[in-house]
Amino acid sequence: MNQFNPSFGELPYCILGREQVIENIKLAFENNLNDPYRTVLFSGARGIGKTVLLEKIVEISLEYGFVSVNITAGNTMIKDLFDQLFERTQHLLYEQKKIKSVSIKNFNVEFFGDDQTLGLRTRLERVLVKLNELGVGLLITIDEIYKAAHGLGEIVIAYQHYKREGRNVALMLAGLPKNVSDILSDSEETKNYTFLRRAERVVLKDIDIEEVAQLYYETFNAEKKSLTKENADFMAEITKGYPFMVQLVGYYVWRKTGDKVEKAEMLAGIEEAKERLGVLVFSASLNDISGKDTEFLLAMANFETPVATADIMKAMGVSQGYIQQYRIRLLETELIYSPTYGKLDFSIPYFKEFLLQKQ
C-alpha cells in the first residue's frame, strides 16, 4: 500500500522532524502542571504541518490520561468545544457506575452538572473539576486561529484562570504566522490574549533533506520497491523539505513505479507531484486574490529572490503608494514573506516556477 498521503490535515504514516517538540510535550503531560510546554502556540506556512502536529499531540495526550477537544477557530467554537467534550467523556459514564444514567443524552447534565445558561468559564470549570477529580486532564487544541475568532478570547481567559488554580489542563494553538503575530500584538482588540505572550512559541520549519531521503529510502525498500540511495537523495532534494511536497513526491513516485524504481518513472512521478502542488496550493491561492495581486507576484517571480520591493516597483512602473498597498495585502495572504527589511520572497517552494510557467 502507498505509504504516503498528500492530503491536508491527515496524519501521514511518518511524521518527520518534530521529535524534539513532541518530546517536550510528552514531558509536560507527564510531569508538571507548570511546564511551559503545557501552553504552546504553533505557527508556520501553509502545508508545513500544523494541523497534523495538533492531531498527533491529541493522540499522544490519550496515553497520558487526557481527554482532548480539538476545534478549529470560527463562529461555532464554544459549541464545538462542549459537543466534543461531552462526546469524549461519555466513556466515563460506564466507568463511574455511581451515575443513575437516565440517558446518555443527559449525561453531561447529570454527570457534570452542565447548565447552558452559564458562562463558558464556569461551565467548563464544572467539567474540569470533575475530570481532575478522576485523575483525567483536559487538552484543548485550536487550529487556524485568528484575532477576531469569536470565543477565542473567552477560552484563553478561562484557561488562564484554570492554570492559576492549578488545574490539570493544556492548550495548544496553531495558525499562520501573520495571524499568530496579530494575536500577540499589543492592542485593545487583543487584550484577552495577553496571557498567550508568555506561552511557548514553536515556529514549524521545513524538514531536513537528509531525513526526507532516509524516509524515502527506508519506506520504499521496506515495501519491496527497490530504490537506490542516489534516487532517494534526488527525490528528497526535490521536496526542499516542504512537508506537503514530501507527501506528494512520495505518493506519485510510488504510484508510477513497480518493484524497482526506474529513473524515468521516478521523474514522471516528480512531475506529477509538482503539477498537483500547483493545482492544490498555487491555483487555489491565486483564485483567492485579485488580478492586480497576481501581476505583482508575476513581477516578483522574474527576479532572483529575495527581491527588493523597489525593484518590483520599477519593473511594474507604478508608484510607491501603490506598491506598498499590494505588498501589505500579499504579505497578509502568506504567499510571500519579508526575510529582511525591504525584501520579499516566496513562502512555498515552486511557487516562483509555477508563476513563471503561467506567463
Binding of residue 68 to Mg ion (CB under 5 A): no
Report the partner that residue 15 touches, choosing among ligand ATP, Mg ion, none (CB closer than 5 to 8 A by kind): ligand ATP
CB of 334 to ligand ATP, least distance (A): 8
For ligand ATP, the closer CB: 10 or 165: 10
CB of 276 to ligand ATP, least distance (A): 11
Q: State CA 129 to chain mean position distance.
A: 30
Report the partner that residue 12 touches, choosing among Mg ion, ligand ATP, none (CB closer than 5 to 8 A by kind): ligand ATP
For Mg ion, the closer CB: 42 or 252: 42
CB-CB neighbours of 229 under 10 Å: 12
DSSP secondary structure letter of residue 49: S
Binding of residue 247 to Mg ion (CB under 5 A): no
Number of H helices, E strands in the chain: 17, 8
Q: State CA 66 to chain mean position distance.
A: 21
For ligand ATP, the closer CB: 52 or 235: 52
For ligand ATP, the closer CB: 47 or 269: 47
Three cell numbers at 357? Answer: 510557467
For Mg ion, the closer CB: 50 or 352: 50
CB of 331 to ligand ATP, least distance (A): 16
Strand partners, 170: 139
Report the partner that residue 178 touches, choosing among ligand ATP, Mg ion, none (CB closer than 5 to 8 A by kind): none
For ligand ATP, the closer CB: 239 or 257: 239
Which chain residues interact with ligand ATP by CB under 6 A? 5-10, 12, 15-18, 44, 46-52, 176, 207, 243-244, 246-247
CB of 182 to ligand ATP, least distance (A): 15
DSSP state string for 256-324:
H--SB--HHHHHHHHHHHHHHHIIIIIIHHHHTS-HHHHHHHHHHHTS-SSEEHHHHHHHHT--HHHHH
For ligand ATP, the closer CB: 165 or 275: 275
Q: Give every strand in the sheet of 39-43, ordered side by side.
A: 66-72, 137-143, 169-175, 39-43, 200-203
Report the partner that residue 250 touches, choosing among Mg ion, ligand ATP, none (CB closer than 5 to 8 A by kind): none
CB of 45 to ligand ATP, least distance (A): 7
Strand partners, 39: 171
Three cell numbers at 94? Answer: 460506564
User: Binding residue for Mg ion (CB under 5 A) from 3, 39, 43, 51?
Assistant: 51
Binding of residue 160 to Mg ion (CB under 5 A): no
Binding of residue 239 to Mg ion (CB under 5 A): no
Contact (Cβ atoms closer than 8 angstroms) between residue 225 and residue 254: yes
Contacts of 282 by beta carbon, 8 Å cutoff, 6+ apart: 348, 350, 351, 354, 355
CB of 338 to ligand ATP, least distance (A): 19
CA torsion 273-278-279-283 (nearest 10°) is: 170
CB of 215 to ligand ATP, least distance (A): 8
> What residues line the site for Mg ion (CB under 5 A)?
50-51
